[in-house]
Amino acid sequence: MIPRWLCILALLISVEVKAWNQMPRKTVRYSGFSDNLQSWRVGISHYLTLMLDENRGALYVGAQEIIYSLDLDNIGKELRPQIKWEAPSERKMECVNKGKSNQTECFNFIRILQNYNETHLLTCGTYAFQPKCAYIELSTFTLDSVNLEDGKGKCPYDPSTGHTGLVVDGVLYSATLFNFLGTEPVIQRSMGQHNSIKTEYLATWLNEAKFVGSAHVPESVDNKLGDDDKIYFFFTERALEYDCYSEQVVSRVARVCKGDLGGARTLQRKWTSFLKARLVCSIPELQLHFNQLQSVFTLRTDHWRATQFYATFQARWGDVSVSAVCQYSIQDIQKVFDGHYKEYREQAQKWGRYSDTVPSPRPGSCITNFHRHHGMNSSMDLPDNTLNFAKKHPLMDDAVQPVQGRPLLVRKGVNFTTLAVHRTTGLNRKEYDVLFIGTGNGWMNKAVRIGSAVHLIEELQIFDKPYPVHSLVLSARRSFLFAGSPAGLVRLPMADCSKYRSCADCILARDPFCAWNLSASRCVESDNPYGDALRQDIESFDTSMCEVQYMKYCKFLSSINNMFDA
Ligand SMILES: *[C@@H]1O[C@H](CO)[C@@H](O)[C@H](O)[C@H]1NC(C)=O
Ligand SMILES: *[C@@H]1O[C@H](CO)[C@@H](O)[C@H](O)[C@H]1NC(C)=O
Ligand SMILES: *[C@@H]1O[C@H](CO)[C@@H](O)[C@H](O)[C@H]1NC(C)=O
Ligand SMILES: *[C@@H]1O[C@H](CO)[C@@H](O)[C@H](O)[C@H]1NC(C)=O
Ligand SMILES: *[C@@H]1O[C@H](CO)[C@@H](O)[C@H](O)[C@H]1NC(C)=O
C-alpha cells in the first residue's frame, strides 16, 4: 500500500513541476531526410562512438567491429575505406561459453576513439568481453592489428556499461569497470603497457559507479600556486554517506592531478590526488532531486578559469519522467575540493564533516609551489600521514551546487540523454550559449541561455523511431551537429533559419544564429554581424522592430498623399 500522504505529496509535486516544466516554442516532427537532415546507415550498431576531426574534414565512427571515416560535408560518403576490426572467432566462442549473448555482446564494440598524436588515433574495443586497444594510422586509415594492447581498465568488457576515456599528452585517462563481472569500477591512467595509476578498490572511493564523462582542465596555465592540470570525472554511484537512504544513487564529480605518480609506500600506484564531491541538481523548494546524471559537456573558454560544465539529469516522480539541465563552474568545483572533508565516525556509525586538524601538505592536493618549497617534487615524496588521510577521506563534505542554485531547464515527460553546447555571439555582440539536448526517444531540444534563464527554442524529431540519442558532436567550423542513436547517425545544421517565415516568427524564435533580413524579407543566418539590415532581439524579443519597414512604407505613402493634397 502506498501511504496516502505520499500520493498527496506526489500530486502537489506534479502540480508544482508543471510550473517548472518548460515548453518548446516550436515542435517540429520528423519529415524524412532532406538537405537539412542527412542520415547515414540506419541500424548499424547499438553503440556508436563519434570523433570529430575538423582539420581532415572527417567524422570517425566506431560501431560494431567497424570504424568508419565519413566526410563531414557529406556523411553519406566514406572518405576512406572502413576499418574492419573483429574479435577472433575463438574469443567469441569463449565469450559465448561464459554466458554472454552471441547476438548483442560477443563482438568487438568500438568504445574509445581519441586523438593520440599527430599521426595516430587510439581506439579501444570490447573485443568479445576481453577489451583491447590499438592505434590507427591516420594518413592511410589503417589499424595496427598486430600490436594490440590490453584494454583492461581502459575500455569496458560490456558495451552497455557507462565509461569514459580521454587522451591528454599521449596518455589515456579512463574510467570503466575493471573486471569481467563488472563489479570493480576504476579510474585509471595508463602509460605504456604496465605502468598505470589507479583508484583504490574501496567502496568509499567508488561504489557501483556508472561513468558518464571526463574533462581535462589545464589549471597549470597562469597559476600563481604552481598547481597542476587536472582531469575531472563525472559519474553516478551508490552513496554510502546517507543513513536513511542506503540505496540512494547520487551524481559525483571526481578529480585527479595530471602529474600524480602515486605514493612511495602508502597508495603505491594509486592516485594520491583522488577527491570526489556530490554534484547537486535540484529544485530546492520542491525537494526535487535530479540524481541520475546522464551526460556532461565541457565548454572550453579562452582561459580555464571560465570553464563551464553543462550536464543533463533525469529523475522520476511516481510514474512521471522529469529531466533537467544544470550548469557548474570550475570555480565552484574548486571551492568544494578546497573545503572540508567528510568522514565516517566509527563511534556514531555515521558520516559527518571532518573538523579535526588536517595533515600538511593538504591531502588530495596536487604538487604545487608549496610542496616544492618544502622539498616535495612529486607525489612519491608525500608523507605517509597525508597519504593515509587521503586514502580514508576521498569524499568532500560540501556538495557542488549548480550555477544559480537550480536547474537552468526542466522538462516533464521527457528523458534528456546527451547534450552539446556552442557559444556564439548575437548581433548585440553579446555571447550566448546554445544548448542541444538529445532525448531518450529520438528528439533534439534546442535552447539558448539568456541571463539566468533558458529559452527553449524548439524540439525537433530527428529519428523516425523512438530511439535514444546517445552520442552528439558539434562541428563549430561547419555549423553542423551529428547525433547517433541505434537507428544510425544524422547530421543537422545548428540553425535552420529559413523555417521562420515571418519577421515576428524569426524574432520570437530568439535564436542567436538567426536574424531577419529586412531588405530580403527573410530569416537568415546571422553570420554577418555587420549587416545593418538585420534584426534580432534575443533578450526582449520585441517584434515592433519588424514594423520598421512597413512603417517607413506607410510614411512614404502618406507623404505622397500629402504631396497630392498640397
Ligand atoms: C547464437 O546461438 C544460438 C544458440 O545458442 C544459435 O542457434 C545461433 O545460430 C547463434 N547465432 C549466431 C549468429 O552465431
Ligand atoms: C604516434 O604514436 C604511434 C603509436 O604509438 C607511433 O607509432 C608514432 O610514431 C607516433 N607518432 C608521432 C609523430 O609521435
Ligand atoms: C627537488 O628538486 C630540487 C631542485 O630540482 C632538488 O634540489 C631537491 O633535492 C629535490 N628534492 C627531492 C626530495 O627529490
Ligand atoms: C524515461 O526513461 C525511463 C527509464 O528508462 C522509462 O521508464 C520512461 O518511460 C522514459 N520516459 C519517457 C517519457 O520516455
Ligand atoms: C539581406 O538581403 C539583401 C537582399 O537579398 C542582400 O543583398 C544582403 O546582403 C542581405 N544582408 C545580410 C546581412 O544578409
Other beta carbons within 10 angstroms of residue 193's beta carbon come to: 8
Looking from the CA of residue 376, the nearest atom of ligand 3 is 13
304 C-alpha to center of ligand 3: Å?
A: 29
Go through 25-42 and write b for each residue having 16 or more CB atoms within 10 A of its CB, e for each that does not. Answer: beeeeeeeeeeebbbbbe
How far is 294 from 251, CA to CA, in rounded Å? 9
C-alpha cell at 520: 530580403
Choose among 532, 530, 495: nearest CA to 510: 495
In short, whether 517's Cβ falls inside 6 Å of ligand 5 is yes
Is 122 within 8 Å of 109 (Cβ atoms)? no
Other beta carbons within 10 angstroms of residue 178's beta carbon come to: 22
Side-chain-side CA neighbours of 536 within 13 Å: the count stands at 25
Which CA distances in Å does 479 have to 132, 199, 473? 34, 39, 11
Cα distance between the two ends of the chain: 87
Q: Which ligand is nearest to the CA of 518?
A: 5
How far is 238 from 208, CA to CA, in rounded Å? 6
pTM greater than 0.85 (yes/no): yes
74 C-alpha to center of ligand 5: Å?
A: 27
Minimal-distance CA residue to ligand 3 atom 11: 375
556 C-alpha to center of ligand 5: Å?
A: 22
**Sheet hosting strand 74-84, strand order edge to edge:** 49-53, 58-62, 66-71, 74-84
How far is 506 from 522, CA to CA, in rounded Å? 9
List ligand 2's pocket residues with C-beta within 6 A. Answer: 116-120, 135
Which residues share a beta bridge with 400?
279
Minimal-distance CA residue to ligand 3 atom 7: 375
Looking at residue 474, what is its pLDDT? Answer: 96
Choose among 270, 230, 223, 286: nearest CA to 253: 230
Is 293 within 8 Å of 251 (Cβ atoms)? yes
Looking from the CA of residue 118, the nearest atom of ligand 2 is 13
Local confidence pLDDT in tens for the 566 residues of the chain:
445 545 445 554 555 556 678 899 999 998 877 777 888 876 667 889 999 999 999 999 999 999 999 999 999 899 999 999 999 999 999 999 999 999 999 999 999 999 999 999 999 999 999 999 999 999 999 999 999 999 999 999 999 999 999 999 999 999 999 999 999 999 999 986 678 999 999 999 999 999 999 999 999 999 999 999 999 999 999 998 887 655 689 999 999 999 999 999 999 999 999 999 999 999 988 888 999 999 999 999 999 999 999 999 999 888 899 999 999 999 999 999 999 999 988 888 889 999 999 999 999 999 999 999 999 999 999 999 999 999 999 999 999 999 999 999 999 999 999 999 999 999 999 999 999 999 999 999 999 999 988 999 999 999 988 999 999 999 999 999 999 998 889 999 999 999 999 999 999 999 999 999 988 899 999 876 565 688 899 998 988 888 765 555 555 556 555 555 54
Go through 295-323 and write b for each residue having 16 or more CB atoms within 10 A of its CB, e for each that does not. Answer: bbbbbeeeebeebbbbbbbbbeeeeebbb
Is 549 within 8 Å of 518 (Cβ atoms)? yes
